[in-house]
Amino acid sequence: MKQQILHRYKQLIQDRIDAFQDMILGLTVDAQNDAKGSAGDKHETALAMMHLEQEKLNHKLRELLEQKATLDKIDASKQHQVVALGSVVKTNQLWLFVSSALPKITIETKTIFAVSTNSPLATQMMGNRVGHTFEINGKQYVIEDIQ
C-alpha cells in the first residue's frame, strides 16, 4: 500500500508543478506580448500586476518542488519498525503518511492523511513503535501498525 500512496502523492505533486509552470509561462508570454503593443500608466500597472502574480506562482512552485524533493527521499520498499519519514502509520483514529503536508487521498477505501514531520501528530509519533499512545487536542491516539 505504501507504494500506491507514494505514487499517488508524487503524481499529485507533479500535476500541480506542471500546472504552475504552465501558468507562469502564460504570464511571461502575456507580459511579452503586452510590452510590444502598449504604453502609458495602464500598461505599467498591468505589467506590475502580472509580475506580482508571477512572483506568487513562483513561490508556490518552490513549495511544490520542496514537497517533491521530500517525497523523492522516501524508499517505499523500506519497512519501518519505528515511525520515520516515509512511514505509513495506522492509529486507532486514522491512517497517516509521514512525508509532507499534502491533501488527503483514498486508497483501498482507506483515507490517508499526509503529514509533515513537523506537524503535531508526526512529532508525537516520530521514533515510536506500535503500541505508543499519545494525545492531541483531547483525542487519544494509539499506533496500531507501521509500514
Where would I find the beta strands (DSSP E) of the chain? 88-91, 95-99, 102-107, 110-116, 133-136, 139-146
pLDDT given for residue 38 in this prediction: 52
Say which residue the cell 503518511 belongs to.
97
pTM score, two decimals? 0.81
> From CA 116, how far away is CA 67, in angstroms rounded?
9
CA atoms within 13 A on the CB side of 11: 7
Task: Write out pLDDT tens, residues 44-103.
Answer: 677 777 788 889 999 999 999 999 999 999 998 888 899 999 999 999 989 999 999 999
pLDDT given for residue 43 in this prediction: 58
Task: Write out pLDDT tens, residues 32-51.
Answer: 766 555 555 555 677 777 78
Instruction: Break the chain into its structural domains and give their ranges.
Output: 2-72, 88-146
pLDDT given for residue 41 in this prediction: 56
Where would I find the beta strands (DSSP E) of 2-101? 88-91, 95-99
pLDDT given for residue 4 in this prediction: 93
